[in-house]
Amino acid sequence: MRALIQRVTAARVDIDGATVGEIGPGLLILVCAMQGDDADTARRLADKVLKLRIFRDDAGRMNRSLTDTGGAALAVSQFTLAADTSRGNRPGFSAAAVPEAGAALYDVFADRLAETVEVARGRFGADMAVTLTNDGPVTIWLDTAA
């Protein structure tokens, strides 16, 4: 699985002009299931996100995790993280999991986060508008295959 994580002071996702998920301080997580991923992969990625020490401590160093801060997570599915741009100018997305598997793994990922922190969600497969205020800015790329 792949995830692009942004530390935010606030984030929300709207569908057709209506807000479906919104958080204050925490993490916006754009997530993509890849071919060959399974539920264990989704849970491991969620555990990594929860423990990632990218929040400031009292000394101003990135030394605290989402669970340490009590922040929230906004999980948004984004198959375009699977983009292959190695040939030509049009990205290919064949490395992404098929939609049925992608939706199921997105749910496993978000459900695992929700065992520990407050989680808001986008809607798998929907045309979403994501708004965020990046804190830092801090943006981290995670890929379970690496």
Residue pointed to by tokens 């695992």: 112
Residue 79 is a catalytic residue: yes
Q: To the nearest 10°, report the CA torsion of 118, 123, 124, 126.
A: -150
What is d(CA 43, CA 31) in angstroms, rounded to the nearest whole number?
12
The one-character DSSP state at 82 is G
CA distances from 139 to 31, 88, 98, 133, 136 (A): 13, 27, 27, 12, 9
Considering 19, 35, 80, 131, which one is annotated as catalytic?
80
Considering 6, 41, 55, 79, which one is annotated as catalytic?
79
Q: Where are the alpha helices (DSSP H) in 1-146?
A: 39-51, 66-69, 99-114
Residue 80 is a catalytic residue: yes
Residue 78 is a catalytic residue: yes
Considering 6, 78, 109, 124, which one is annotated as catalytic?
78
Under 8 Å between Cβ of 120 and 74 = yes
- The residues assigned a catalytic role are 78-80
